[in-house]
Structure 1
């Protein structure tokens, strides 16, 4: 895979919840560090995602926000 995004992290799908329209995917990129994304159901099916399968988290964003109470 070649991609221009600089933030590409390899991991393992730990949790996959597929709904009617979207899917929630949790990928563990290091011991105890998980990133969760919501993607389309169609994308999850095209990628043939399933728990235990290797996948990449690709982060491409012009804004990242942090907040506290």
Structure 2
């Protein structure tokens, strides 16, 4: 069995492309293994950096505008 990586529709083994979105089909077992992979470490670093930036901006705002109140 094959599956479309974009719309997740299942097809028979003889199909090569999805008629809906024209994407090349993948084997169902391989697609399941791809979904079970862990989130890359770079994602977590970027997420942590984003939260640190937002926290820093909030702290800076409170320091600057808190002095005038």
TM-score range relative to shorter protein: under 0.3
Q: Determine which structure has the larger helix proportion and give its number.
A: 2
Give the number of the structure with larger relative contact order, counting CA–CA contacts within 8 Å between residues 6 or more apart. 1
Q: Determine which structure has the larger strand proportion and give its number.
A: 1
Q: TM-score, normalised by structure 2?
A: 0.25
Q: TM-score, normalised by structure 1?
A: 0.25
